[in-house]
Structure 1
Amino acid sequence: MSQVIADSREYRTDVVKYIKEAGCQVVQKQLEIGDYIAGYFLFERKSAHDFISSIVDGRLFDQATRLLSSGQRPVIIIEGDLWRAADMREVHQNAILGAELAIARMGVGILYTRSPEQTGHAICLAARQAEREDRGIRIPHIKGTDLRKLQIEFLSSLPGVGIKTAEQLLKKYGSPLKAIQNYRSWPLPDKALAKIRRVLEGLQEDNETDLSAFF
């Protein structure tokens, strides 16, 4: 039977019930990173509302960096109707699209599901695929040197931010999250800061989706 590892915080959720119903064994374990491990995939599960909140408060990019440090293939599962949640929260679509593009450039996948049931089936399917390919489960750990490299790569993926600037920002603020929270003070031209603002916050007065303006 294919095996899935579920973080202790997720073990009593409906998702675990549906993973079992889909035919996979679930093992509870306290994970340093992510919510589920299935084969070579590391899944972080977020409701649509939580995904939007993580964009607004800047947590998303710090979490993406941590997921990448695992050495596995990270995937963020967005559960529920993302665009309906965005309308309810009055968050502009550009902020969401920009964030999705940014984490995709970092190498983090995105998987949309409608419900905990579909999430559970998707995770079990990943475990089954890995079993057919004879890929065992490996528990991820953060490596300090890899983490710093990924943090720099993430910051430098933002508009107008090069490697040297990313290194300076990381040195000054200590983490990508703190750097992003203070992005208005970055030593960049106003035009670059405006593009970064569009990626992180979106512009409510802009009704057109012009992705080319982000990067």
Structure 2
Amino acid sequence: MAAAKIPLFYDDREHAEKIIYELSLHEDLSLIKKRLKLGDYQLKDWIIERKTLPDLVQSLCDGRLFSQVARLAQSPNHTALLIEGCTQDIACYQIRREALIGALCSITINFYIPILRSLSQAETAKILYFCANQLNRREHELTLTGRKPKRTKNQQLFILQSLPEVGPKLANKLLCHFASVEAVVTASEEALMQVGGIGKNKASKIREVLTR
């Protein structure tokens, strides 16, 4: 029996014909065009936002970048930023290298969003394909072995992800904010709402499950 294809969703507003064409050459991928609420590509529980280097610089200059990054950080899914292009692409922009480096450090350190680098659309397609395969392999191995996380932090995250609408990213935020699972499950609705990505509705659902 043929192996199931790996689904790769891409946003219908993403204008990157070269990427889609290169991905379509892989017979083990199933490309699905849809309107994504966030990001440009979705692989399993990962959302990937693609930005060309000029777009990154422009959004940094006009103040849009960190509001966009904040929306990514609030997602319950894992998120990554894929930056495409080389320094020659931004030669005409009046921006200090230190400012760009500082922005990238902030995205990684303060928002916990990993950054992937690509030189071209063809290389972006390769990165997306590698990511799809690695995520699929990891999921397959977990299914076959029934393996559960062994390290304490992974066990804690595993528990928190059982809460309503709490994915891997939000579970990590909860653990970072409260420092322990016990503190999370005993937190009030107001305290839960202090964590980015948790509004009143989600906090109410979490408390309902914990106290029912």
TM-score (norm 1): 0.59
Given residue 57 of structure 1, which amino acid in structure 2 is its aligned partner? Answer: D
Offset of residue 62 of structure 1: 0.8
Q: 1:153-164 alignment to 2 at 5 Å?
A: none
| Corresponding letter in the other structure for 1:124 | Y
- Secondary structure of the residue aligned to 1:76 is strand
Tell me what 1:210 maps to: none
- Between the aligned partners of 2:25 and 2:74, the Cα distance in structure 1 is 31
1:7-56 CA-to-partner distances (Å, cap 9, x unmatched) read 11127622111122244211011011100011232111111100111111
Q: Report the Cα distance in structure 1 between the residues aligned to 2:64 and 2:44, rounded to whole angstroms.
A: 26
Which residue does the alignment assign to 2:103? 99
Q: Distance in 2 between matches of 1:59 and 1:21?
A: 35
Do residues 37 (structure 1) and 37 (structure 2) align? Answer: no
For 2:80, the equivalent position in structure 1 comes to 75
> How far does residue 118 in structure 1 lie from its aligned partner after superposition?
0.9
Residue among 4, 10, 13 paired with 2:14: 10
2:71 counterpart of 1:61: no
Is the counterpart of residue 25 in structure 1 residue 30 in structure 2? Answer: yes
Paired with 1:123 and 1:84, the residues of 2 have a C-alpha distance of 24
Q: 1:130 to 1:11 in 2, by over 3 A?
A: farther
User: How far apart in 2 are the matches of 1:16 and 1:90?
Assistant: 32
Kindly state the Cα deviation for residue 76 of structure 1 after the two structures are TM-superposed: 1.1
Aligned to 2:88: 84
Following TM superposition, the consecutive aligned residue runs of length 4 or more in structure 1 with deviations greater than 3 angstroms are none
The structure with the larger Rg is 2
Q: Deviations over 1:158-198 (max 9, x none)?
A: xxxxxxxxx9xxxxxxxxxxxxxxxxxxxxxxxxxxxxxxx
Question: CA–CA distance in 1 between the matches of 2:24 and 2:74?
Answer: 28
Aligned length in residues: 143
> Unmatched 5+ residue regions in structure 1?
136-140, 154-166, 168-215
CA distance in 2, matches of 1:12, 1:59: 21
Q: Which has the higher contact order (CA 8 A, sep 6+)?
A: 1
Cα distance between partner residues in 1 of 2:102 and 2:13: 29
- Aligned-residue Cα RMSD (Å) equals 2.8
- State the distance in 1 between where 2:16 and 2:121 align: 12
Q: Decide whether the 8 Å contact of 2:47 with 2:79 is kept in 1.
A: yes
Whole-Å Cα distance in 2 between the matches of residues 86 and 96 of structure 1?
11
- 2:108, 2:92 → 1: CA distance? 25
Counterparts of 1:143-182 in structure 2 under 5 Å? none
Q: Tell me if structure 2 keeps the 8 A contact 1:86–1:92.
A: no
Aligned with residue 114 of structure 2, among 109, 126, 141: 109
Greater alpha carbon shift after TM alignment, 88-97 vs 4-13: 4-13
Aligned to 1:161: none
Q: Percent identity of the aligned residues?
A: 27
Deviation of 1:93 (Å): 0.3
